[in-house]
C-alpha cells in the first residue's frame, strides 16, 4: 500500500473503531436487556439504535467542568490517553490478508505496549481527581495492572513460540491448519481473563466498582471527558476481541465467506461473550482478584509456556 | 381483674417482688397483659441486671411525655422511660417504667447491661431531653445537631405553621455548615497512630449501596476498615409525632411508609395493637386475608433483598428477574387492594374490602410459578462461587451477640436461633398454618441470605394454605369501634347512623390503656406501643423497628474487613432507612 492509502485506511479504521465502540454502547445495553428480561433502549430509531446519537448529543452539550480541587492538566490528559492508546492498538490488527495498517515484525509487542499505556489513563484520572473514591479506584487499578500485565504478556508467548514470529499476520497464517485455541487453550484462557481485567469490565471492574466506590476512578468526571473513558473502555473491548480472534481463532481465516466477514463474525461473537460475562458474574473482592492472578493464573501461564516449549522442541527434533 | 390475676401469678414478677420487695414496684394493668412495673430510677439498673439472664434481649427502650395526660397511671411523673424486655426461651415479655420529673430528667444508662441501649438512650435524649448518666456518647441521633428543643415533647410544635417563619441568613447558614464539618474525634476515631495516618471516607448518605440515606464514617488503613461509625437520621420524618395528631384510623397510611418494602405488614403491627386496646376480635376471613397479604409482602420485601444482595456483590442480572417477579406480585396486590407498595389496606377490626372476584386465579398462578423461578435464582446467585467467596464468613456474629444487640428476624435466625413469633407466639391466626422456620448456623452474610431465600418458599406455602382454605364470612368485625363502621342499617336506625357519623367524622375513641403487639415483620420484630388517653388520637405511639438495632451493630461486625466486605454486610442485613429513622 502507498503511504497515502495507509493514511486513508488508517482514518477509515479510526472511524470504524470509534463508530463500532459507540454502537457497542447501544448493543450492550440492548443485549443485557434481552438477557435480563427487559427491553433496554428501544425508543429512538429502528430498535433504538439512534440512542447512541442521543447520548452523544447529551454528553457533548454538557458543561465541560474541571473540579477546582483537581490537578487540571492531568485531569484533562487522562481520558485522552486511554482513547489514543487504544486506537493506536488497532494499527497492528490484520482485518484481512491485505487489510491492515501496519505489519510490524513486533506487532504483538506493540499491542501489549499500547494496552499497558491505557492503564496510565485510569491511574492518572484517579490521582488527578483528588477524590477519595477516585484515589481508591486508582490504587486498585495500579494493583490490578501489576498483577495482570505480568501474565498477559506471558500467556501469548505460547502463540509466538508456535509461530516463531511476533507479526500478527504471520500468526494468522500459521493457523491455516489448526486454530491456536486448541493447542493453546491454556493460553487462551489466561489471556481472556487478563483481557477482561485489562479493559476493566465486570467482573474485573474493581477500579470502578459502582457498588463500593460509587464510580471509582471517574467519580469526578462528566460530560465529554467521561465519555472518553467510556469510549476507551469500549475500544478496549473491541481491541481485545480483535486480538483474541487474531491470536486464537484464526483471524480472517475461514471458508466460503470473504476474509473480512469472517473476522468481523468472530469479533462479534467474542464481544457477545464478554457481554454475557458481564451479565452473569459477580465481582470478586480486590484481594481475591490479586490472589487469583498470582496464585492461579501466573502458574498456569508458566505451565503453558513450559509445555508449549517442550512440545515445540519435540516437534523440531522429530 | 384478669390482669391483676395474671400479674400476681407471673413467676417473673413474683421473683422480682421477692428479690427487691413488692413495695419497690408499682404494677400497671395493661390490656395486652404484658406485666408492666414502675420502678424507681435508683433501682432500675439493679432490676435490669437481675432480669438480664432471663431476658437476654432489650427489645425496646423509649421515652414518653406524661405531662398532658388526663388518665395518668399510678407512679407516673412528667416523663417516663420505658424498657421492654424479651425472653425468647419462654416467650415472655416484661415492661419496666421509670418516672422522672421535668426538673431533673435523669436515669442511669443501661449501656453496660445491653450495648444496644446506646442508640435507644440517645433517641430518648434527642426526643425528650431525658439524660442518661454514664452514657458514653449522649448526642443527638435522629435530629440535626443544631436542632433546638426536643421534638416529641408535648410542648414542641408538630407543624411548621406552629413555629416562627423559617429563614436562613448567612450567619445561620455558616453555623449550619460548620456543624457539618467532620471531626474524627467527635466520632470517637483517632486521626493517626504512631506509624499510620488514617484516611477517613464518608460513605453516604448518598451512595449506591447504602439502601437509602445512610451514612457511615469510615476510618481506613488502605482499604481495611479500622472503624466504622454509622450516622442516621437523614430519613427521619417524625412518624411518632404525626401519630399524635392523626386519628387512630388515619394513621394507618403512615405505617405503610415505615418499612416501605413491607407494605401492609406495617398495618398489621399497628392495627393488632389498636385491636388489643379496643378488645376487638377479628373474624376468620379477615385474619386469613391479612396473613395472605402480609406474606405476599414478606415475599416482595425478600425479593428486593435477594436482588440487591446479589447486586451489591457485583452481580448485575438477578435484580432484574426479582423485580420482574415483584412486579407480578404487585399486580396481585393491586387487584386486591388498589394500591401497590403502600396499600394502607388493613383496618381497625378487619380489612378495607372483601377479596375481588377471581383473586384465587391470580394468586394460584403466582405461587405455582414461583418455586421454579426460585430454583433458577438459586443456581444463578446463591450457588455462584464468587458470591460465596464474597459473603461466607463475612460479618458473622453469634446468637449471644445478636441477642445483646437486639437483632431479630431472619438476621437472628441466621445464627441458628430457632425463634419466630409467627410460630412461637402465634398471632392473628398463624397457629392454623403449617410452615417451617428456616435457620442458618454461622450468622454470616451468606447465611442471612440463605434464611431469607428459604423464607420466600415458606411464605409461598402459607399463601397456598390461605388460598385453599379461605373461610367465608365477613371481612371486618361487628365491633362498634371497627373503622370505618358498618354502613348497613344507617338509613334504618338512628343509633347506627349517629355512631357511623361520629366514628367517620371524628374517628373512633379507643379506651384508655397501653398495649403493644410485637409481630414478625419482614425484617424482624416490629412493635407498636400505643398509649390511649381516651381520645380520638393516640397519646403516644412508639414504633420499634427491626432495622434500627441492625445498623447499630454494623461497626462490631465490620472492623478489620475491607470496603467490599462492608458493602456485602450492608447488603446482607436487609434494612430500609425509613424503618430506621421513622
pLDDT at A256: 83
- Is B389 close to A288, i.e. CB distance below 8 A? yes
A282/B contact by beta carbon, under 8 A: yes
Does A269 reside within a domain?
yes
Residue with cell 461486625: B557
Is 90 exceeded by the pLDDT of residue B334? Answer: yes
Residue closest to B483 by CA, chosen among B284, B246, B263: B246
Q: What is the pLDDT of residue B3?
A: 47
Average pLDDT value for residue range A43-65: 86
Query: Is B224 in CB contact (< 8 Å) with chain A?
Result: no
Q: Residue B8: what pLDDT? A: 55
In whole angstroms, give the CA distance from residue A89 to residue A13.
Answer: 11
Chain B positions in Cβ-Cβ contact with residue A32 (cut-off 8 Å):
316-317
Residues within 8 A of B (CB atoms), A 197-226 only: 202-203, 205, 209-214
Q: Lowest-pLDDT range, A197-206, B59-68, B134-143, B457-466?
A: A197-206
- To the nearest whole Å, the CA of A198 is away from the closest chain B CA by 18
Helices (H), A61-214: 72-89, 107-128, 132-163, 168-173, 185-198, 210-213
A132–B contact, CB cutoff 8 A: yes
In chain A, how many domains are there? 1
Reference B78, options B115, B41, B36, B109; nearest CA is B41
pLDDT of residue A318: 63
Residue B451 confidence (pLDDT) above 80: yes
Q: Do B320 and A284 touch (CB under 8 A)?
A: no
Beta bridge partners of B200: B219
Q: Are A304 and A156 in contact (CB under 8 A)?
A: no
Mean pLDDT for chain B? Answer: 88
Residue A42, in any domain of the structure: no
A294-303, B177-186, B391-400, B546-555: which has the minimum mean pLDDT?
Answer: B177-186
What is the residue whose three cell numbers read 492538566?
A73
Q: Interior CA angle at B525 toward B523 and B528, to 5°? A: 120
Looking at the domain assignment, is residue A49 inside a domain? no
Residues of B with Cβ-Cβ distance to A275 under 8 angstroms: none
Cell for B73?
Answer: 397511671
pLDDT digit string, tens, across residues B489-525 = 778 888 888 888 888 888 888 899 899 989 999 999 9
Mean pLDDT over B101-110 rounds to 88
| Total number of residues shown for chain B | 582
Whether A287 and B209 lie within 8 Å, measured CB to CB = no
Query: Between B412 and A223, where is the model more confident?
Result: B412
Please state the rounded mean pLDDT for residues A210-236.
Answer: 82
Quote the minimal CA–CA distance from B452 to chain A in Å. 20
* Domain assignment of residue A50, yes or no: no
Which residues of chain B from 530 to 569 reach within 8 Å of chain A, CB to CB?
562-565, 567
How many residues are there in chain A?
Answer: 318
HSE of B49 in the Cβ direction (CA atoms, 13 Å)? 12
In chain B, % of residues over pLDDT 70: 98
Whether B4 shows a pLDDT value over 50: the answer reads no
pLDDT at A209: 66
Burial of A301 (0-12, 13-18, 19+ CB in 10 A): buried
A150: domain range?
Answer: 66-317
Q: Are B154 and B130 in contact (CB under 8 A)?
A: no
Q: Are B69 and B514 in contact (CB under 8 A)?
A: no
B317/A280 CB distance under 8 A:
yes
Using omega within 30 degrees of 0 as the cis cutoff, is the peptide bond preceding B581 cis?
no
Touching check for B197 and chain A: CB below 8 Å?
no
- Domains present along chain B, CATH in parentheses: 2-141 (3.30.460.80), 239-581 (1.10.645.10)
pLDDT class of B2 with cuts at 50, 70, 90? very low
Cell 469472517: give the residue: A262
Q: Return the percentage of chain B with pLDDT > 90, whole number.
A: 33
Q: Which of A37, A132, A284 sits opposite B390 (nearest CB)?
A: A284
C-alpha cell at A205: 471492574
Evaluate whether residue A154 is within a structural domain. Answer: yes
Residue A191 located in a structural domain: yes
Q: Which helix (H) or strand (E) holds B376?
A: helix B359-377
d(CA B160, CA B151): 12
Task: Name which of A90-104, A111-125, B74-88, B368-382 the model is least confident about.
Answer: A90-104
Q: Does A178 touch chain B (CB under 8 A)?
A: no
Task: Specify if A227 maps to a domain.
Answer: yes
pLDDT at A121 over 80: yes
- Does B373 touch chain A if contact means CB atoms closer than 8 Å? no
Q: Is residue A302 part of a domain?
A: yes
Q: What pLDDT is recorded for position B5?
A: 46
* β-bridge mates for residue B542, sequence order: B529
A227-254 mean pLDDT: 87
Cell matching residue A177: 491448519
Task: Decide if B321 touches A, using CB distance below 8 A.
Answer: yes
pLDDT above 50 for B161 = yes
Amino acid at each position: 500500500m502507498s503511504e497515502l492509502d495507509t493514511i486513508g485506511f488508517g482514518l477509515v479504521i479510526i472511524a470504524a473503531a470509534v463508530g463500532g465502540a459507540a454502537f457497542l454502547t447501544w448493543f450492550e445495553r440492548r443485549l443485557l436487556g434481552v438477557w435480563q428480561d427487559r427491553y433496554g433502549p428501544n425508543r429512538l430509531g429502528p430498535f433504538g439504535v439512534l440512542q447512541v446519537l442521543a447520548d452523544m448529543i447529551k454528553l457533548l452539550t454538557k458543561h465541560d467542568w474541571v473540579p477546582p480541587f483537581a490537578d487540571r492538566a492531568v485531569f484533562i490528559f487522562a481520558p485522552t490517553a486511554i482513547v489514543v492508546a487504544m486506537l493506536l492498538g488497532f494499527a497492528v490488527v490484520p482485518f484481512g490478508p491485505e487489510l491492515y495498517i501496519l505489519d510490524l515484525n513486533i506487532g504483538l509487542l506493540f499491542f501489549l505496549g499500547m494496552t499497558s499505556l491505557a492503564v496510565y489513563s485510569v491511574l492518572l484520572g484517579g490521582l488527578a481527581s483528588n477524590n477519595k473514591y477516585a484515589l481508591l479506584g486508582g490504587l486498585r487499578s495500579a494493583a490490578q495492572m501489576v498483577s495482570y500485565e505480568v501474565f498477559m504478556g506471558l500467556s501469548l508467548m505460547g502463540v509466538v513460540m508456535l509461530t516463531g514470529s511476533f507479526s500478527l499476520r504471520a500468526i494468522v497464517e500459521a493457523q491455516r491448519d489448526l486454530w491456536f485455541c486448541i493447542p493453546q487453550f491454556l493460553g487462551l484462557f489466561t489471556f481472556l481473563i487478563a483481557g477482561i481485567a485489562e479493559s476493566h469490565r465486570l467482573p474485573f471492574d474493581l477500579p470502578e466498582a459502582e457498588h463500593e466506590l460509587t464510580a471509582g476512578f471517574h467519580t469526578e468526571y462528566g460530560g465529554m471527558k467521561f465519555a472518553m473513558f467510556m469510549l476507551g473502555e469500549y475500544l478496549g473491548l473491541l481491541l481485545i476481541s480483535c486480538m483474541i480472534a487474531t491470536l486464537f481463532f484464526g483471524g480472517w481465516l475461514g471458508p466460503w465467506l470473504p476474509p473480512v466477514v469472517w473476522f468481523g463474525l468472530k469479533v462479534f461473537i467474542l464481544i457477545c461473550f464478554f457481554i454475557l460475562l458481564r451479565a452473569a458474574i459477580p465481582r470478586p473482592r480486590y484481594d481475591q482478584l490479586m490472589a487469583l492472578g498470582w496464585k492461579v493464573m501466573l502458574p498456569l501461564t508458566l505451565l503453558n509456556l513450559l509445555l508449549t516449549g517442550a512440545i515445540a522442541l519435540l516437534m523440531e527434533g522429530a | 381483674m384478669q390482669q391483676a390475676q395474671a400479674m400476681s401469678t407471673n413467676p417473673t414478677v413474683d421473683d422480682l417482688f421477692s428479690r427487691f420487695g413488692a413495695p419497690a414496684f408499682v404494677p400497671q394493668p395493661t390490656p395486652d397483659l404484658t406485666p408492666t412495673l414502675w420502678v424507681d430510677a435508683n433501682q432500675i439498673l439493679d432490676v435490669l441486671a437481675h432480669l438480664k439472664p432471663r431476658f437476654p434481649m432489650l427489645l425496646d427502650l423509649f421515652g414518653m411525655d406524661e405531662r398532658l395526660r388526663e388518665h395518668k397511671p399510678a407512679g407516673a411523673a412528667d416523663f417516663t422511660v420505658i424498657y421492654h424486655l424479651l425472653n425468647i426461651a419462654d416467650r415472655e415479655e416484661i415492661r419496666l417504667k421509670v418516672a422522672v420529673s421535668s426538673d431533673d430528667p435523669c436515669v442511669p444508662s443501661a449501656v453496660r447491661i445491653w450495648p444496644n441501649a446506646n442508640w435507644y438512650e440517645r433517641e430518648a435524649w434527642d426526643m425528650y431531653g431525658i439524660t442518661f448518666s454514664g452514657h458514653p456518647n449522649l448526642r443527638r441521633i435522629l435530629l440535626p445537631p443544631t436542632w433546638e428543643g426536643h421534638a416529641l415533647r408535648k410542648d414542641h410544635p408538630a407543624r411548621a405553621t406552629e413555629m416562627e417563619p423559617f429563614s436562613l441568613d448567612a450567619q445561620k447558614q455558616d453555623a449550619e455548615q460548620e456543624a457539618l464539618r467532620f471531626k474524627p474525634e467527635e466520632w470517637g476515631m483517632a486521626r493517626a497512630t504512631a506509624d499510620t495516618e488514617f484516611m477517613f471516607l464518608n460513605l453516604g448518605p448518598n451512595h449506591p449501596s447504602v439502601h437509602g440515606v445512610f451514612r457511615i464514617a469510615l476510618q481506613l488503613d488502605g482499604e481495611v476498615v479500622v472503624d466504622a461509625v454509622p450516622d442516621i437520621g437523614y430519613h427521619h420524618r417524625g412518624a411518632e409525632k404525626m401519630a399524635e395528631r392523626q386519628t387512630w384510623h388515619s394513621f394507618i397510611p403512615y405505617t405503610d411508609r415505615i418499612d416501605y418494602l413491607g407494605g401492609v405488614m406495617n398495618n398489621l403491627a399497628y392495627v393488632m395493637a389498636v385491636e388489643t386496646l379496643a378488645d376487638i376480635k377479628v373474624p376468620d376471613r379477615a385474619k386469613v386475608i391479612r396473613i395472605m397479604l402480609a406474606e405476599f409482602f414478606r415475599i416482595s420485601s425478600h425479593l428486593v433483598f435477594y436482588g440487591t444482595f446479589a447486586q451489591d456483590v457485583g452481580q448485575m442480572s438477578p435484580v432484574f428477574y426479582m423485580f420482574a417477579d415483584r412486579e407480578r406480585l404487585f399486580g396481585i396486590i393491586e387487584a386486591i387492594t388498589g394500591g401497590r407498595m403502600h396499600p394502607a389496606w388493613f383496618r381497625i377490626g378487619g380489612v378495607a374490602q372483601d377479596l375481588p372476584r377471581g383473586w384465587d386465579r391470580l394468586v394460584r398462578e403466582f405461587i405455582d410459578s414461583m418455586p421454579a423461578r426460585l430454583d433458577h435464582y438459586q443456581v444463578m446467585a446463591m450457588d455462584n462461587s464468587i458470591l460465596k467467596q464474597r459473603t461466607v464468613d463475612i460479618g458473622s456474629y453469634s446468637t449471644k451477640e445478636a441477642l445483646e444487640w437486639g437483632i431479630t428476624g431472619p438476621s437472628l435466625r441466621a445464627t441458628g436461633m430457632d425463634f419466630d413469633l409467627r410460630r412461637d407466639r402465634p398471632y392473628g391466626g398463624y397457629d392454623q398454618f403449617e410452615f417451617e422456620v428456616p435457620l442458618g448456623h454461622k450468622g454470616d452474610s451468606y447465611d442471612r441470605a440463605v434464611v431469607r431465600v428459604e423464607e420466600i418458599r415458606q411464605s409461598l406455602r402459607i399463601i397456598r394454605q390461605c388460598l385453599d382454605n379461605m373461610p367465608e364470612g365477613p371481612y371486618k368485625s361487628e365491633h362498634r369501634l371497627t373503622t370505618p363502621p358498618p354502613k348497613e342499617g344507617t338509613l334504618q336506625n338512628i343509633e347506627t347512623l349517629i355512631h357511623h357519623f361520629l366514628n367517620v367524622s371524628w374517628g373512633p375513641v379507643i379506651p384508655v390503656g397501653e398495649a403493644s403487639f410485637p409481630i414478625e415483620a419482614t425484617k424482624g420484630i416490629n412493635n407498636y406501643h400505643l398509649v390511649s388517653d381516651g381520645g380520638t388520637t393516640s397519646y403516644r405511639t412508639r414504633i420499634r423497628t427491626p432495622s434500627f438495632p441492625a445498623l447499630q451493630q454494623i461497626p462490631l461486625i465490620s472492623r478489620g474487613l475491607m470496603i467490599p466486605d462492608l458493602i456485602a454486610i450492608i447488603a446482607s442485613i436487609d434494612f430500609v432507612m425509613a424503618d430506621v429513622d421513622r
